[in-house]
């Protein structure tokens, strides 16, 4: 006899409750009985393994974010205990980009674990077409369903005032993100546009902030970490949002989608092809690492009609709505248990 939605028990496994992870948690809690399990990096702690086993025993479905070491044990225990497992994948966990030393697959042991997870989970959910391609490059023996991330357009929305000639980018400031997020290009572009204010928003995790400050002109501001309400205020003020990355797994569920929902006009790197899935024809594309081309694109975006920003918001509203992801996740879980 099949269970009703409210009776279905989901173990929600995560390491960091970022905005898009939190969004999925809230969506699932509307339909199912959800228990959270936060797992940091596995350190051969028997108590962590006990928590996993106890959680899997309780659940009907284990829903885990990202292919990490913990996902290996989650999928293993799910198979042994005959529970359904769903893994959301993309980004670092399925990447191998040696030129910028990025991706879990650079480590042969992690690569083997990732392959096991992909081939033994009941459903793999890449959050972009690009992430799906990365998954299929690892293994074709995958039960896969690409479901784009969602953006809360009721929370992230225009502020009702005229946009300022200001350029934003949002990310964690750390050594690994200097090249991957194109942060040098961002501050070099600011040097070419001294009359324009550039703002880099995000927590400072290491000494890389000192390097960025050293090479930045006076028109670049580093805010550090800001709370969500303040972040939305920045999006509402700025006319342009930059994502100048070498590699990204997604865009709509993170800062890019949030900025576009607030009618920022995006300027993005053509190298990180996953970003085009979010931007479409609603922004400007530049070659990775080309500060002159980036500065020219920023000028074009600053001079563009406000209709451009409205077009971007409408794209996010239609293609990356919370309702759309909620419906697909809910249906997927019910189909898994009724198969």
Q: Per-residue confidence of the chain (339 residues) as pLDDT tens digits? A: 456 556 899 999 998 888 889 999 999 999 999 999 998 755 566 788 899 999 999 999 999 998 776 899 999 999 999 999 999 999 899 999 999 999 999 999 999 999 999 999 999 999 999 999 999 999 999 999 999 999 999 999 999 889 999 999 999 999 999 999 999 999 999 999 999 999 999 999 999 999 999 999 999 999 999 999 999 999 999 999 999 999 998 767 789 999 999 999 999 999 999 999 999 999 999 999 999 999 999 999 999 999 999 999 999 999 999 999 999 999 999 999 987
For residues 337 and 28, what is the distance between their CA atoms, to the nearest angstrom? 15
Q: What order do you get walking across the sheet with 33-38 strand by strand?
A: 33-38, 9-14, 61-65, 84-89, 123-126
Say how far apart CA 14 and CA 180 lie, in whole Å: 23
Quickly count: other Cβ atoms within 10 Å of residue 197's Cβ. Answer: 16
CA-nearest of 335, 329, 248, 334 to 25 is 329
CATH 1.10.15.40 fits 5-149+321-338, yes or no: no
Distance, CA of 140 to CA of 36 (rounded, Å): 30
CATH of domain 164-319: 3.40.50.2000
Question: Start-end ranges of CATH 3.40.50.2000 in the chain?
Answer: 5-149+321-338, 164-319
Q: What is the distance between the alpha carbons of residues 151 and 289, in angstroms, rounded to a whole number?
A: 28
| Global pTM exceeds 0.95 | no
């Amino acid at each position: 006899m099949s269970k009703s939605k409210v009776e279905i028990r989901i173990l929600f496994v995560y390491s960091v409750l970022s905005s898009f992870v939190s969004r999925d948690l809230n969506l699932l809690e509307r339909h199912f009985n959800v228990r959270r399990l936060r797992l940091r990096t596995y350190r051969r702690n028997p108590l962590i393994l006990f928590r996993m086993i106890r959680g899997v025993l309780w659940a009907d479905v284990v829903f885990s974010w990202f292919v990490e070491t913990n996902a290996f044990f989650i999928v293993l225990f799910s198979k042994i205990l005959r529970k359904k497992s769903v893994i959301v994948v993309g980004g670092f966990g399925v990447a191998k980009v040696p030129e910028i030393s990025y991706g879990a697959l650079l480590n042969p042991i992690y690569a083997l674990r990732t392959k096991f997870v992909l081939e033994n989970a009941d459903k793999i959910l890449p959050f972009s077409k690009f992430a799906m391609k990365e998954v299929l490059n690892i293994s074709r023996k995958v039960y896969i369903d690409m479901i784009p991330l969602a953006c809360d357009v009721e929370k992230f929305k225009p502020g009702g005032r005229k946009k300022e000639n200001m350029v934003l980018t949002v990310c964690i400031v750390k050594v690994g993100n200097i090249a991957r997020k194109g942060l040098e290009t961002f501050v070099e572009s600011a040097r070419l546009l001294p009359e324009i204010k550039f703002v880099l928003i995000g927590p400072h995790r290491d000494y890389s902030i000192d390097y960025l400050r050293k090479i930045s002109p006076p028109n670049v501001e580093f805010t550090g970490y800001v709370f969500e309400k303040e972040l939305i205020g920045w999006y509402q003020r700025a006319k342009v949002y930059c994502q100048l990355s070498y590699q990204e797994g997604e865009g709509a569920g993170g800062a890019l989608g949030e900025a576009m929902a607030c009618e920022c006009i995006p300027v993005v790197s053509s190298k990180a092809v996953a970003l085009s899935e979010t931007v479409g024809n609603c922004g400007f594309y530049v070659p990775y690492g080309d500060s002159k081309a980036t500065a020219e694109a920023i000028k074009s975006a600053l001079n563009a009609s406000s209709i451009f920003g409205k077009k971007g918001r409408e794209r996010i509203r239609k293609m990356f709505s919370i309702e759309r992801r909620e419906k697909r996740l809910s249906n997927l879980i019910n189909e898994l248990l009724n198969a």
